[in-house]
Amino acid sequence: MSSSPPEKRPSPEALLRQAKREERGQLKIFLGAAPGVGKTYAMLSEGRALKREGEDVVVAVVETHGRAETEALLEGMEIVPRREVEYRGHRLGEMDLDIVLRRAPALALVDEYAHTNVEGSRHPKRWQDVEELLSAGIDVYTTLNIQHVESLNDVVASFTRVRVRETVPDSVFEAAEIKLVDLPPDELIDRLKDGKVYVPQEASRALGHFFSKPNLSALREMALRRAALSVDRQMLHDLDAGGVVGTYAAGERILVAISEQPGADALVRTAKRLADGLNAPWTAVHIETARSRTLDEEAQRRVAAALALAATLGATIATVPAENVIAGLKGQIEAHRATQLVIGRSQRSWWFELRHGSVVESLIRGSQDLAIHVIPSPETALSPDRWSAWTRGWGRPESYGAAALLIAAMTLLAKLAEPVIGRGAIDLLYLVPVIFAATLYGLRPGLFASIAAALAFNFFFLDPVHSFTITDPQSVLTMLVLTGVAAVTSNLAGRLRTRAQIGVRSAQENAALASFAQTLARAADLETTATATCEEVSRLLGVRAVVMTVQEDMLRPIVARPPEAQISPVDQAAAEWSWTSGEPAGRGTNTLLASDWQFHPLKTGLGVLAVLGFARDDGREPLSADKSALLATLVGQAALAHERLRLEGEMRGLSVLEERDRLRAALLSSIGHDLRTPLTGVTAAIEAIGAEHPHAGALPLARAEVARLRRFLDNLVELVRIDAGGMRPDLDPVDLTDAVAGVVHDLKDLLRDHHIDFQVPAGLPLVRTDERLLHHILLNLLANAVQHGGRAGPIGVIGRRTSDAVLLTIRDRGPGLEPGTERAIFDTFAQGSGSDRHGGSGLGLAIAKGFADALDISISAANHPEGGAAFTLAFPNNLIVTLPEA
């Protein structure tokens, strides 16, 4: 006969999350590894199926990217008209959020979840539009690629070399249903080659870069893992809300128990290796009991070091108060639904296990769905101070003296009351001092008081009095009952006292953390934030505290508490190591132990923003084991506060830059257009003078300067177009020989005194590019070569074919580029000898670089081995026109 599983009360937090989800619409994310796996197709297919079943479904916004099979799914669907937005001279279509809200369908299909809305929209991001739809009770289906998840952005960029700017926060996955749309890399590459992902002329370029097979395999693995993680978290939330017991080991979850015994660091490393092997989350927990307060300094240091090591290795750490270790561990196993436990087994005496029980044996007997890894603790020699360690747990002698005084006072009171109440009720009076002693001083003084009460009752009130001899069998029973009741009462009162102390301390810490968070939220500058951090760390941990950051290229203290706290050279070295390495350093760590301070980096995704240090006045270990989790929380909150300040400062700087760029663009556009009319008049006047005086000596110079001014104005106008994102290349096959010849013709006056060394083979392939923009690029490069190469220096134009590109090089015979300026030479308005920035406007090469980027042409600058500067345009294979064989 099978026993029914134990009942578990549903988690209030899980029920609250579930209630909030029921008030909102439901979000379903069709998650894919890369574009082209079929996310939009899968979303529309499910939407059509629901519509056939009578569901009220509308298409809020869908991007078909010209795919016929996707467009076919839109037939018969209700499509919400897009909102037309005027943006920089173009009309763009965005999802009309207001129409969808007024329409209030049961389900809205919203493509491209990470899309950035046009400026002036209600929300900057489409996922925020979706949040508003969900808040209105509308279910939403949407699509997302794995590279758009905020926490994975850096990882994806590390191997694809592509930084995705449009991201969604990880929090959107918490209440979302995830449907993975999977496609093997080989099949996706075949779709790409067939032109089913991008238009054909873009396919080969994408195949050689983002859509390589290693990239797609890595992205696929990330998508599978992220979907599995979301499903596992959702399962845990549902289990908590339903009060269901059990581990439900669909995914591995590892818990490592940290004790004060030697070898705790080995447990942490074992758990880390296990977690890495299973790719599982893991938690390091220390169970704090009443006995924890009696540990010596060395034991507390071991616990603190083990928890710090676990945090460094990526674990979630926690210090959990409990009545005993067994109950605390079982509670954590149940709360985390751990599937594997790593625990150490120390060499305990039979007397200790008789009194406290064996934690390992108890867990093995009581855990059916838990894999337990028992790691033997190293054997250590008995401490010479073993007696003092054993007696430390019994408390202070004053507690026993006070318990004896309570018993003596109650004995005197009972003697006085004996004529009135008789001896029959006196035994109950002795329970009062026993309860008082256990409540005020703990379990062991309470037990001492119970024994003292039994002896006093026997000596003063049982016949024969003033003797410990008991002649009446009934008195023997009374004595035993009094001793037992007093002991049980003392035990209960002592446990209640322990629980109350743990509860009060936890409540105080939680209240302090909440107050600390509010203080940090109100802080508006670095000094206020650092002051709040120092004061709170100093108050909660009972230490001196300092916050340091880099000022004037040196790590300096910002705020210290107390203000007169001193940092020695050794301390400074430890702080600088913590800053550069991003790891704790100083006393109580594994690095620079000679320092009196312990330093922790305030580190976020932006890097190390500051360093928090603390030390004790008495020179002891700065941090006790029971404060490790508290410190981790304080460090985390302080780091987030510093990150907020950094981001706010960057946002203010970006706002200033955006306003400056807007004014600059407006000024350049105004200059470029307003000077065209007078320039036309000047040109006409020069030509009129030339007609009347064809041999005037200043006429060629005037014409050359007017032509130069016209190129300058053209550069201004084109620069504004580049900054405004208004480039729309028109790609056609172009013969580079003809392109260069056209530019040489337009610059015939400027090139009059220069020899053009033309080395472009007649058989060089055509390239697919925008002829007008390429003309501007070559125009600026040749004008730059004239200025750089001197008045009569030859200019080389060399074309050649390589295995992966067609190269076109413009070379002069001037002094060359300054070392280290090969990249900066293309910056707008940058000044450097050997370019049009030397005596020019500083725009020509910037214009050339902007146009080249718009055309997917690589442009580079270098010094030629035989002298002079060489600017090279590289047309990749996807831009090379391959003619069909005859």
Q: Distance between the two ends of the chain, CA-based, in angstroms?
A: 84
Under a CB-based contact definition with an 8 Å cutoff, are residues 318 and 273 in contact?
A: no
At residue 513, the pLDDT reads: 72
Residues 427 and 460 sit within 8 Å (Cβ to Cβ) = no
- What whole-number distance in Å separates Cα of residue 611 and Cα of residue 555? 9
Q: Report CA 874 to chain centroid distance, whole Å.
A: 38
**Nearest of 830, 844, 598 to residue 718 by alpha carbon:** 844
Average pLDDT, 10 consecutive residues per value, the chain (886 residues): 48 52 80 86 91 91 82 88 75 86 92 85 86 90 88 75 78 82 82 62 49 79 76 62 55 83 85 82 82 71 79 77 80 81 73 62 75 75 46 66 85 83 75 75 73 80 75 65 66 67 68 77 84 87 89 87 86 90 83 86 84 85 71 84 83 74 68 69 76 74 74 68 63 88 82 82 86 86 79 82 89 83 71 43 73 85 86 89 58
- Interacting residues of 475 by C-beta distance below 8 A, sequence separation 6+: 458, 462, 463
pTM above 0.85, yes or no: no
Helices (H), 337-396: 350-356, 359-366, 386-392
Are residues 242 and 214 in contact, defined by beta-carbon separation less than 8 angstroms? no
* The pLDDT value given to residue 763: 80
Write down the residue that tokens 């705790």 correspond to: 264
Sign of the alpha-carbon torsion through 193, 199, 205, 206: negative
- At residue 241, the pLDDT reads 55
Write down the pLDDT at residue 721: 64
| Residue 108 confidence (pLDDT) | 93
Identify whether the C-beta of residue 831 lies closer than 8 Å to the C-beta of residue 842: yes
Supply the pLDDT for residue 874. Answer: 92
**Phi and psi at residue 384, in whole multiples of 5°?**
-65, -20
Q: What is the DSSP letter of 342?
A: E
pLDDT at 807: 92
Q: How high is the pLDDT of residue 722?
A: 60
For 263, which DSSP code? T
Spatial CB neighbours of 440, under 8 Å, sequence gap ≥ 6: 399, 402, 497
